[in-house]
Amino acid sequence: MTGSVDCTVSYCSRVFLIYRPSLPGNALFLAAFAVLIPLTLGLGIKYNSSIFSTTVATALALEVVGYIGRVLLYNNPTDRTDFILFLIGTIIGPTLICGAVFRVLPRIIAVYGEEFRSWRSVWYQYLFHAFTTVSTVLQLAGGLYSTIQDTPGELTSVEIDTGIHLLVAGLVIQLLALVIFVGHATLFTIAVRTRQHALDAKFAGIYNSWSFKAFLSAFSFATLLLILRTAYRVIVIAEGYESSIAQSDVLFLVLDGAMVLLATLSLLVFFPGRILRNSLAQTPIRTVSRTPLRPIQPAPYELPSARNSPTYNHMSVQTVPMNYSPRKSQQPSPLPQRNMVDSEALW
């Protein structure tokens, strides 16, 4: 595959940039994302949040790759390899950050109580994992299909449009996942505010703390920024690479680079592993035991004595006097007393 192509503006505008990206602006974002990578990994090691930190660090590394492509495009805006680096890096990176955000909400719910959730935890995990996976695959396939060919002449308008459609579909799925995520979080918030009497006082020190409330605000702010960024990229890609909004360097740096950077900083300043570390030990997510259940052995049942039976008639039992009486001696001897358990009257 050739890196740089000689082409007319009419062809290059369908695939590549027709302007020189700002070198200082893109270099600034490149350096910022690069500095955050070791910081993210360090926080993950310190607060035992390896999955979250690794996901965010991978996203930041992809952002670095994307901005390396933009810096290189400053020298040659029609270089295909640099354009692919820019496109794939700046599209897949924020998708992984969204996936990391989706993993935090179940831990927040665990602080307040599972009875406040609107979905089962298993459904939540499967749904958002599927959203993230499908979105990533479609965006990667669309980005590559719309840009990679052996020679410039082989890249037709139909292929470009097909790749763009795949790319838009992936971004729309990501935006839909974010909207559903916000809706789920909103339902949870309403349930907590309307049923505060049901909150567990054992965790009052966590959800009433200033740090936890600040974390919730930062988490909401980061989610809002990711929604704005995703909506912007949907519009950009849907209008095509040659559209005026797609060819604007200022809009990209503000609505994409700044949104992702601020969202990441919000998540790192109020790192979930640091804020929720006390709740993680006290509110572990319950899992179903794989140990087979043993059959319950019934306890042996003892029949109650007749005297303790509710049908026992105290008036029917009379004490026979021990004194001898000639008149009473001529009377027939009483019948032997029957046990109430053996009596048909009990059944």
| For residue 8, pLDDT beyond 60 | no
DSSP code of 253?
Answer: I
How sure is the predictor about 9, in pLDDT bands with cuts at 50, 70 and 90? very low
How sure is the predictor about 340, in pLDDT bands with cuts at 50, 70 and 90? very low
Backbone φ, ψ for residue 37 (5° rounding): -65, -55
* pLDDT given for residue 307 in this prediction: 54
Q: Is 303 exposed, middle or buried (0-12, 13-18, 19+ CB in 10 A)?
A: exposed
pLDDT digits (tens, 9 = 90+) for 34-69: 999 999 999 999 999 999 999 999 999 999 999 999
Q: What percent of the chain has pLDDT over 90?
A: 47
* Mean pLDDT, rounded, of the chain: 80
| Structure token digits, residue 347 | 């059944």
| For residue 327, pLDDT beyond 60 | no
Dihedral angle of Cα 188, 194, 197, 201, to the nearest 10 degrees: 30
Query: What is the chain's Cα-based Rg?
Result: 36
Q: What is the DSSP string of 187-227?
A: HHHHHHHHTGGGS-GGGHHHHTSHHHHHHHHHHHHHHHHHH
| For residue 308, pLDDT beyond 60 | no
How far, in Å, are 17, 74, 180 from residue 157 at the CA level? Answer: 16, 25, 34
Max Cα–Cα distance, the chain, nearest Å: 140
| Structure token digits, residue 99 | 């996936």
pLDDT digits (tens, 9 = 90+) for 95-118: 999 999 999 988 888 888 777 776
Task: Compute CA 72 distance to the chain's CA centroid, rounded to the nearest angstrom.
Answer: 36
Considering only residues 316 and 242, tell me which one the structure prediction assigns the higher pLDDT: 242
DSSP code of 79?
Answer: B
**Cα separation of the two ends of the chain:** 94
| Partners of 79 in the β-ladder | 4
How sure is the predictor about 214, in pLDDT bands with cuts at 50, 70 and 90? very high
How sure is the predictor about 196, in pLDDT bands with cuts at 50, 70 and 90? confident
H or E element at residue 229: helix 210-239
One-letter identity of residue 213: K
